[in-house]
Structure 1
Amino acid sequence: MQCYSSAKQAANVLSSSVNGRRLWDDSFWICDLSETAALLKQWSERMPRIRPYYAMKAGPHPPLIRFLLLQGAGVDCASQKEIDMALDMGANPDDIVYSNPNKQTSHLLYAKDENINVTVYDSEEELRKIHSHHPKARVLIRLQARHERAEGSLNDRFGATLSRARHLIELSKELGVDTVGISFHVGSPCLDESNYSYAIKHCRELFDFAESIGMKFEMLDLGGGFDGRACMLDSLEKIFRTINDALDKYFSKDRFPGLDVIAEPGRYFCESSFSLVTNVIAKRESADVIEYTLNEGRCLSLLSPAIDEEFDTFEPYSLLENLDEEKQLSRLYGPTCIGFDVIKEKTFLPNLGIGEWLIWPEIGAYTFATTTYFGGWGTEIFYNITTESNNKQLDSGYLQSLKDVCRDSVTIVANRYKNP
């Protein structure tokens, strides 16, 4: 695995060679696995009570998953295919939480056959499905959580209210289903740390209720919502402190000595670890704006950020950019022949030529995970690297795991586009 001074330096080197790509101007991803390692180190130091289970839906990159597993993390899976990938990467059944509250019955049966026993429900119907098809499961009840200043509110689809949760706990006892704890999700990304303390307080109420009817809960799942980008570090530190304080207040080690506290960070581990490198394939200039067409777009890797209006902070940079060069109003299109493939209506870039490269840093969450390969476009090439600044922060255990994970610096993800 090659070490570079930065992802941008890696992009400059890799864009000048066709190694690993079919065509010299194909777009490609750079995965800085040492960034993932640095984020895991930060998590372990700031929240030592909480074992992270990587929500692989955010960025299902095999080397990243394998690294996290080697370092003691678990995996949050939402489907049979994700379970397969986790197992292929070396996960043990106890390393997997099947956290989808609405499971396909065949997937649930598959989880049972693979001895994946921890799963989630938020309705009577799902509880009865688990009772019928995976009766030995250890289940968590999904609780609705407040979503103040969070991008995606999930309460319309997922989670039980406090009163409903009490009913479901009683029903699970009646059915003989082993409800072992509570899970919640505050929305992602979350910019209000009080959402966590609010939810943890309500979880304690349900723990006490379960105890009052003769049940003992032993697991607390804090869900996701953690943003790992450098620009969000101050907000993240507040979240870490708030969670630790709430756990000390409501779930102290003295009162709950054997409590298994987990979380399901997804974007935290992958957002800043990945950079997308795209090529300018067409250009049209007018008096008002320069329009560029790139070989990635809204139907491909840039679907999620392109529709992310509230958190529209993603910006590309030219690999040849001169900081003193005047920038011009620009509009960016994707390569497909449909009208809404507009990546950015308005941005400012130096005057670029056809064939020049743009790098999109910190753009790994819910991007390549949603690529459609519509019309035959979309990259399947990932270059796995480390960077010097991150490597200096890591001890020998992390560095050895990075070497073990990916001795081949290129990962090819099978292109799902099929010619007729």
Structure 2
Amino acid sequence: MDYIQESDFTVLEEGFTARGLIEKIINDASQTEERDAFLVGDMEEVVKKHLHFLKTLPRVKPFYAVKCNNFRPLVKLFAEMGTGFDCASKSEIELIKEIGVNPERIIYANPCKQISSIKFAANNGVQMMTFDNELELIKVSENHPKAKMVLRIATKDSKSSYCMNAKFGAPLNTCRHLLETAKNLNIEVIGVSFHVGSACSDPQLFAQSIEDAHLVFDIASEFQHKMTLLDIGGGFPGIMEAKISFEEIAAVVNSALDKYFPEGSAVDIIAEPGRYYVASAFTLAVNIIGKKIVQQDAPESHGERNDPCKSVFYYLNDGIYGTFSRLLFRRCQHKLILHKEPSPKQPLYMSSLWGPTCDPMDQIAEHLYLPELCIGDWLLYYNVGAYTVVASSTFNGFHPPHIHFAMSLQAWEDVHLLKRGFEQAENTKKN
């Protein structure tokens, strides 16, 4: 195991917080001309989320969704805490293997895989992988005959902000044929998976999907498939402002599992949380690198503090081709905080925020009423840990912001306790 080192993190002294680290970095940068955007990842937040997951969903083992945020120190932290990993590509499998994770802790959870990637998984001992159609089964039978397949079923995800089933998922009326095909191809099917969509707003979707999975388990038994795995996917909220809480979803999931897959049923339950763990753990600090004032002819006033005489364009050193990439899909819940607390008497101006590239689509926000800011001022964005830098590019030659990882001493101790507990459990299984 390539253990995490203190050098991977800034280990915070008692009483010092991740926000304090942000302030220190800003103060240091403000003494120079290099006021580059940067991220701070609060790993204490991740550790707390993990402990809460284990307590709230005690029968469910998390397989962290690497696609959500693949920074190496972060995935090493998950490896130390004993999670599994949901990988979607050859590169993600390579990353997890490189940090010393046993391939039994990896599920290749992409229902559509390139043949060379299937062979790579086979050659590296990764056996669990998903499918949702007959042609995928044929590909796997020809290139990874020892695979342990997981049938991904379609769900009703219309109440999620990011629907998955338009692309993936086998309708229930096709499952019998797929299970029979797998049997004829001599391919082992070990379980069922589903995904209710990201930012799910109705916990009952989990209950319905678990019930549907139970039905597929019954069908699989007709073809002598030994079903031992249920993968309940992701869709768990990662921020306080979510429409429903993680606890509400957990209550529904626990009830449905007790009904359809009770303890003693010899079925392992896993999930693929991503944004749940990391969305709220990362904060972005961006600097105002440019400013343009536009005089208004005959504007309307919208409140006592709002000054209608001008609007202001602010240009930042990160944008939609970087950390704000999710704005392209209007799926972004980043929370803006002004670094300098404004006076309640300052007038507010209609403002827009723009990224650093030459593309006019690189707009972060518009129609904001802000006090007048200056070139060199900082803005902070919370909740930027999920699907941000991983989806960024180097368009116009701009690179993703540097990342600082922080961890409290208490979190550091919690990780080592989790590590020892995981190792003891693994040794018990071997013996």
CA contact (8 A) 2:192 2:229 kept: yes
3-state DSSP of counterpart to 2:315 = strand
Query: Where does structure 1 lack aligned partners over 5 or more consecutive residues?
Result: 403-420
1:12 maps onto 2:23 in alignment: yes
Task: Determine the C-alpha separation between the residues in 2 that align with 1:261 and 1:125.
Answer: 27
CA apart distance, 1:399: 6.0
1:270 maps onto 2:278 in alignment: yes
1:338 maps onto 2:359 in alignment: yes
Task: Determine the C-alpha separation between the residues in 2 that align with 1:380 and 1:291.
Answer: 22
3-state DSSP of counterpart to 2:116 = helix
The 4+ residue runs of structure 1 with deviation greater than 4 A are 399-402
Tell me the equivalent position of 2:128.
118
Tell me the equivalent position of 1:238.
248
1:303 maps onto 2:325 in alignment: yes
Task: Determine the C-alpha separation between the residues in 2 that align with 1:149 and 1:243.
Answer: 17
CA contact (8 A) 2:150 2:193 kept: yes
Choose from 67, 70, 82 the match for 1:60.
70
1:314 maps onto 2:322 in alignment: no
1:291 maps onto 2:313 in alignment: yes
CA contact (8 A) 1:148 1:192 kept: no
Tell me the equivalent position of 1:373.
394
Q: Deviations over 1:1-30 (max 9, x none)?
A: 2327444332211122259xx962111110
Tell me the equivalent position of 1:202.
212
% identical equivalent positions: 32
3-state DSSP of counterpart to 1:249 = helix
Tell me the equivalent position of 1:282.
290
3-state DSSP of counterpart to 1:201 = helix
Tell me the equivalent position of 1:405.
none
What is the root-mean-square deviation in Å for CA atoms of aligned residues?
Answer: 2.1
The structure-2 alpha-carbon separation of the partners of 1:99 and 1:146, relative to structure 1 and needing over 3 Å to count, comes to same
The structure-2 alpha-carbon separation of the partners of 1:175 and 1:55, relative to structure 1 and needing over 3 Å to count, comes to same
Choose from 261, 271, 285 the match for 1:251.
261
Tell me the equivalent position of 1:355.
376
Structure showing greater Rg:
2
CA apart distance, 1:299: 1.3
Query: Which amino acid in 2 is paired with 1:384?
Result: F
The structure-2 alpha-carbon separation of the partners of 1:67 and 1:214, relative to structure 1 and needing over 3 Å to count, comes to same
3-state DSSP of counterpart to 1:54 = strand
CA contact (8 A) 2:318 2:355 kept: yes
Normalising by structure 2, we get a TM-score of 0.86
Task: Determine the C-alpha separation between the residues in 1 that align with 2:172 and 2:152.
Answer: 10
1:324 maps onto 2:333 in alignment: no
The structure-2 alpha-carbon separation of the partners of 1:29 and 1:211, relative to structure 1 and needing over 3 Å to count, comes to same
Task: Determine the C-alpha separation between the residues in 1 that align with 2:383 and 2:180.
Answer: 45
1:193 maps onto 2:203 in alignment: yes
CA apart distance, 1:231: 2.5
Task: Determine the C-alpha separation between the residues in 1 that align with 2:130 and 2:52.
Answer: 28
Query: Where does structure 2 lack aligned partners over 5 or more consecutive residues?
Result: 1-9, 295-308, 420-431
CA contact (8 A) 1:325 1:350 kept: no
CA apart distance, 1:380: 4.3
Q: Deviations over 1:351-377 (max 9, x none)?
A: 211011111111111110111011111
CA contact (8 A) 2:336 2:380 kept: yes
3-state DSSP of counterpart to 1:285 = strand
Tell me the equivalent position of 1:415.
none
Q: Deviations over 1:68-108 (max 9, x none)?
A: 11111011111111111111222110111111111011111
Query: Which amino acid in 2 is paired with 1:166?
Result: R
Bigger drift between 4-13 and 130-139 goes to 4-13
CA apart distance, 1:120: 0.6
Aligned 1:65-84 pairs, distance under 5 A: 65-84=75-94
Task: Determine the C-alpha separation between the residues in 1 that align with 2:251 and 2:374.
Answer: 47
The structure-2 alpha-carbon separation of the partners of 1:89 and 1:329, relative to structure 1 and needing over 3 Å to count, comes to farther
Task: Determine the C-alpha separation between the residues in 1 that align with 2:134 and 2:163.
Answer: 22
Normalising by structure 1, we get a TM-score of 0.88
Task: Determine the C-alpha separation between the residues in 1 that align with 2:243 and 2:321.
Answer: 30
The structure-2 alpha-carbon separation of the partners of 1:355 and 1:116, relative to structure 1 and needing over 3 Å to count, comes to same
CA apart distance, 1:170: 0.9
Tell me the equivalent position of 2:3.
none
Aligned 1:206-217 pairs, distance under 5 A: 206-217=216-227
Q: How many residues align?
A: 392
Tell me the equivalent position of 1:132.
142
Tell me the equivalent position of 2:269.
261
